Each structure stands twice: as C-alpha cells, then as structure tokens.
Amino acid sequence: MSTTSLDGKVAVVTGAGAGLGRAEALALADAGARVVLNDLPGAADEAAEEIKNRGGEVAIVEGDVAERSTADAMVAAAVDGFGSLDIVVNNAGMTRDRMIFNMSDDEWDAVIRVHLRGHFLLSRNAASYWRQKSKEADAPIYGRVVNTASEAFLGGSPGQANYAAAKAGIAALTLSTARGLGKIGVRANAICPRARTAMTAAVFGEDTSGMTIDPYSPEHVAPLVAYLAAPAADAITGQVFVVYGGMIAAVAAPGVAPRFDKAGDVWTASDLDAQLGAWFADRDPSEGFAADSIMKLTV
C-alpha cells in the first residue's frame, strides 16, 4: 500500500533557510524525514530550530551549492550523520536580472553557476551514492530528486536570459536523471513554483488577494514536494509541474507542429521558402516555442 509518510527517510534541502526551501524542509520534516539543511552561513539556523521545536531531527551544512566541497559535505551529513540519503530537494538559487544586451559575463556566470551547477553537483553525488547502494543490494533502491525549474524557461522571460537558460537546463537535467537512474529506483521531477519570496519580491509585489493564505505563499508548494518525495509517488518521474495557489498543472511534453520534407534530393532555398516560409507567413510572429498558455494559468 502506498504511503505519504517519510518516516525513516533522510532528505537534503538546499537554500533551506527561508522562502521555498524553508517551507519544503518543514514539510519533509513534518512528514517524518530527518533533514539536512543547506544555506549560506547562519541563514538556516532559525529553520533548524523550528524543525527541532516540532520534534524533528535536523543538521545544517553551510556553504555555496556551486562548490563541490559543499555537495560532498551535504551527502556526508546525510549518510554519516543520519545513516542514509533518500531525498534530494534542489532549491537554492539567485537572480541577476538584466536584458541580454546589458547582461555582463559575471551576471550570466553567477546565475548559471548557482542554479545549474548547484543542481548538478548534489544530484551527481546523490546519484553516485544510490548507484553504489543498488550495486551492493543487487536491486533497486529508494531515491527521490525534486528540482526547482521555473516558468521562465517555458516563457523565455525577456529580462532573465541567464535565469531562463539555467532553468531550462535544470528541466533537462531532471529528465536525464529520471531516465538514467530509473532502473535503480530513483524518481526525479521538477517543479515550476510561483512563490512570493525574497528573490521574487519585485515580481509579485504585495499580496492583495484577500485570501486566507496568499496564493503565492510557499505553503502551496511545499506539500507537492513532500508528496513527490514519498513512496506514494513512485509512479511519477520525469515530470514538470507548475504549482502555486492550490493549483498543480502537469506540463505536457513538447510536440511537433508541422513536419516538412524536401522535395528533391536535398533542401534548396526555394523549397524551404515554399514550405517552411509559407507555413510561417500567415502566423503571428509572437507565437513561437514559448508556452504562453502555461504562463496564463490562474487560480
């Protein structure tokens, strides 16, 4: 029988000191998991104290998620400190918003580094641990990865070329993880949350909804993360979910619109113009690969 309990499981949550990461860590702890919190020095202290006050077990690993040493320390804190590593929640992130023509090298590198490299390092270390455990058991093991993408990669937010690219990479990393580790029991999914946090304060502004719980509260996101981490979600992998305000939307995989085939032995300019050019001639040029329908989701 499937269960949503995380009793006996050990989770690592990055960027767990505030906002989404904190809410996710609390949800995992409330479900029974022992939790390793990661954030910059001092940032996760209050979250750890709250978990302890709720009766949970918690450890803190301070450091930059984009440093290999931090990823090593997080896995060690879980395995050596709590005896296992079962759940990885990659949440840590940052923004350096700028139009692409004004974006500096450093602004690009910093966002790609924290988001994409940070997700990769911990996922890679966890994958290595799980693969070894599966070899030792000669059987599938329990492993869950929940990554944090964003609708920015679906809509191509114009002032966030670095952030959108990083989040697209995270979605692809999630799919590769799900397919590459599925046979040994690991499930990997990505969420695209809308949440009012310090990082998104300028995006969502103040809550004027009048609702009991702010539609953009991390409280609407954390339950999904805890569920995806649970045994009950064993059949869910390689998926991307938009989540906020009590709504979860499973994002469909991209599909082919039209297909064009060469008329002769190879494509010619006239053939391309007759087929490809003609198909696009009467289309709205703003209707590209961007998932505009997803961006219009409301609650």
Is 227 one of the catalytic residues?
A: no
| φ/ψ of residue 267, rounded to 5 | -65, 140
Among residues 74, 83, 80, the alpha carbon closest in space to that of 125 is found at: 74
Tell me which of 157, 167, 216, 244 is the catalytic residue: 167
The model's pLDDT over 228-282, given as tens digits with 9 standing for 90+, comes to 999 999 999 999 999 999 899 999 999 999 999 999 999 999 999 999 999 999 8
**pTM of full prediction above 0.75:** yes
- 124: Cβ contacts below 8 Å, ≥ 6 apart: 71
Average pLDDT, the chain: 94
The model's pLDDT over 35-48, given as tens digits with 9 standing for 90+, comes to 999 999 999 999 99
The model's pLDDT over 58-86, given as tens digits with 9 standing for 90+, comes to 999 999 999 999 999 999 999 999 999 99
Is 5 one of the catalytic residues?
A: no
Tell me which of 163, 216, 217, 244 is the catalytic residue: 163
Tell me which of 123, 134, 150, 157 is the catalytic residue: 150
